A and B are shown apart, each in its own frame.
Chain A
């Protein structure tokens, strides 16, 4: 077998590939949220990592104070954090319409500092355990590795959400409005569509996606105030590779980058933290608009 030739046991190769796919699922959901927000607001949402963290914390709060378990949190945490996102858009980001889009990035950067700093102060930086839901404990022995049910669930749930988002944007009337809003907001407004409300909802939806990913991550990484802090940079690279604002690009690139990272862990572990950035540099040289981007 090929893997034996290279001196790598197959369980390591397939195991890391599978873990890569799981990480890729997180990249996909997070970069999808960024793509939705960028598409309509032209803002790079630097607070995305902090909002992802808020999703995990919302799940923990729900369990602790309201007795709502994992499955409830999967629904309610995105709604709560999404509502928070709507507040941010309505009262802060809205004020920046008309100035350079870079200020949107700076504003969300400041928000990320505030949110993460507050949670570090209140909960420490070492993380709070969040239990795996009872139905998904244990796992299955695949022969080459032991796959915990929960990890399998993460991939399935992420893919479902990604496909649903794609359907929403490409196959429904709201989606058509949203896409039109990206192309020409003024014309759309002239047709009687309330573009500001549309923008607010899009931001809320993007934020809800981040929170959803946060709930998915909670049993794996624990609920940690800094869980999104470094992840966000990787997701930025994923978005640049995929092409800013492209929904399909975000999802496909997210999954692919997770797998590539997993492969690197097998063949050259030291490089696994940098491989995505290397891919980004290469893509920028060859296709400056990203793999799925339209304009150069």
Chain B
């Protein structure tokens, strides 16, 4: 019961937020929140550290941008094309990487994502260093003009909620339970007769597709896609968001993303603008050393202790 009240409160807050805060900032926040939640599916619930999720986020950003700008697809369809291609890319990278675990998995995904980065640098349709600019926002359902920031915000909010619902549903499904079982004890899951690699691969593809949806949405909001989105620093950033918010908690990554994006935004306009990477790195180090459960994880422990 309490849980539902909490959800309703957050939803109400999200609905009125664009009238209180600069909507483009909120949209950026929602895109990264979805990205981090999608990433958490494979790290928090699958126990696999992917260091290559920028390839899905940025890859979808480019493909959606191209689909809307050059092919003239409607915005919704453009997003689906982007997310779909990210899922396909996820399948390709997943097939190569999924047989390895731990550090190996991290390094292989990183290297493969870097390969994707170079492909995007040299491909004509991405515009290389120039990026893909002037992507039209279009309309939602053919009615609402997305050039208007408030309309755009509600559109992004809808995309975020759909993505979040898919993740919540997956985590609480039998599939999600098996996934957690594999994370906690892989030999045991194997001996119970589960096809471990297939479960992991499916989770990886789903995570890639949703990360792609986040990147695609970001392209529509900012009307551009750039190499920053595919660079491995982006992969690192999403790890940080997830870790900071809380691994394996449903809402944690969204909280982590909110903190990081707000921080970046706040620092960028002040005297500390050039210190952003240093601040992020410091948070990273502190998280790893002293704070491995993340904000939501620590809160949960705190709540359990006090009640």
Contacts and interface: CB of A to CB of B under 8 A. Distances in A.
A and B, direct touch (CB closer than 8 Å): yes
B201 to A, nearest CB: 15
Contacts of B239: 106, 109
A58 B96 CA distance: 40
A111 B275 contact: no
Contact of B277 (A95, A120, A274): A120
A107 B102 contact: no
Contacts of B275: 117, 121
Interface residues of B, number: 40
Interface stretch (A167-175, A176-184, A213-221, A231-239): A231-239
Interface secondary structure of A, over-half rule = helix
Contact of A284 (B96, B102, B278): B96
Given A110-B285, A270-B122, A102 B102 contact: yes
Contacts, number: 117
Given A107-B289, A274-B119, A239 B284 contact: no
A116 B281 CA distance: 10
A240 B277 contact: no
B285 A92 contact: yes
A240 B100 CA distance: 11
Interface in B76-128: 96-97, 99-100, 102-104, 106-108, 110-112, 114-115, 118-119, 121-122
B236 interface: yes
Contacts of A277: 111-112, 114-115, 118
B118 A109 contact: no
A117 B281 contact: yes
A233 B119 CA distance: 15
A164 interface: no
B288 A106 contact: yes
A8 B221 CA distance: 48
Interface range, A side:
35 or more
A240 B104 contact: yes
Nearest to A270: B122
B295 to A, nearest CB: 16
Contacts of B287: 106, 110
B121 A273 contact: yes
B110 A113 contact: no
B280 A239 contact: no
Nearest to A125: B274
Given A105-B103, A240-B104, A288-B100, A121 B274 contact: yes
B103 A101 contact: yes
28 contacts: A42-B103, A92-B289, A96-B288, A99-B292, A101-B103, A102-B49, A102-B102, A109-B236, A109-B239, A110-B285, A110-B287, A111-B285, A113-B236, A113-B277, A113-B281, A114-B281, A116-B277, A117-B277, A120-B277, A121-B274, A121-B275, A234-B114, A237-B114, A277-B114, A277-B115, A277-B118, A281-B96, A284-B96
